[in-house]
Structure 1
């Protein structure tokens, strides 16, 4: 049997809602990457889909991460998260104009897709692992109570059990 490049990640339940959100973000990243080599109509359509996901899921996810996780994070991780989120927010604002262009920029789409994918992979493989290692059981329980409130308060497009 072939081994996977990265072993399966055992996610602590307090971070699981963020991981579930990441599925939708990875779908958007892959669509942006794939569409970067497609015709202009397809690129515009995928940018529109990205903006829908941004407004309905991704922006709220960023807000939740910043509200709930920043206080628990090490300074380097905190700075990376904030820098990545700023870059991705800037790209989302650029996407508003890009979706109406006759020829949406293929390189811009590829870069956005790769940036989003890289950010999500970093959170899953590094940031969440750091948090799981450094937080006490009491802190993880406190975080879990907060993430459960988030799960109950919003209608997620994608629910994975």
Structure 2
């Protein structure tokens, strides 16, 4: 689905979120070091996901949108809080099995969250915004958008022979 100019930068970041999920799942499937996967996820959380969440909450959780999209925006914000709680727990975890379980839960929750935003929240936004509002929101988000770097020195999501699948 083609996303409107107003929300396209957030959709680009959602694509990166799905790449993250793929990498986490592949790493687990290939029995990569759980500690390595944990470090990668915490790094992406700090350098990309927190920034994305901040942008969504700063530019979408505003009074004029809350009136019409309250339930959607509350769900978005609730998911963001769950992610923050998960990362706080992950940061303290030592048990490999607990880490593995939390990473799997995080991956599932992130996939579901991205689907919700792309299939429900964003289409509702696009219907609600006037052309002028959409243009203004798009300009703001494009101005602050920075490409996400998902690189990591140890590409644990690749098989030992170097292929991704």
Shorter-chain-normalised TM-score: which range? Answer: 0.7 to 0.9
Alpha-carbon offset, residue 31 of structure 1: 2.8
Are 1:76 and 2:71 an aligned pair? yes
Q: Is the 8 A contact 1:77 1:127 kept in 2?
A: yes
- For structure 2, which runs of at least 5 residues remain unmatched after alignment? 151-165
Runs of 4+ with >6 A deviation: none
Secondary structure in 2 aligned to 1:13?
Answer: coil
Which residue matches 2:17?
A: 25
Q: Assess if the C-alpha contact under 8 Å between 1:26 and 1:117 holds in 2.
A: yes
Q: CA deviation at 1:117?
A: 0.9
What TM-score do you get using the length of structure 2 for normalisation? 0.79
**Residues in 1 aligned to 2:109 and 2:25: alpha-carbon distance in whole angstroms:** 10
If the length of structure 1 is used for normalisation, what is the TM-score? 0.81
Corresponding residue for residue 114 of structure 2: 120
Aligned position for 2:96: 103
Give, in angstroms, the shift of residue 12 of structure 1.
0.2
In the alignment, structure 1 residue 58 sits paired with structure 2 residue 49:
yes
Q: Equivalent residue of 1:11, what SS? A: coil
Gaps of 5+ in 1: 1-8
C-alpha contact 1:44 1:104 (8 A) present in aligned 2: no
Determine the C-alpha separation between the residues in 2 that align with 1:156 and 1:31: 15
Q: Hey, what does 1:156 align to over in structure 2?
A: 148
Q: Distance in 2 between matches of 1:37 and 1:16?
A: 31
SS at match of 1:124: helix
Partner residue of 1:145? 139
Task: Report deviation, 1:16.
Answer: 0.6
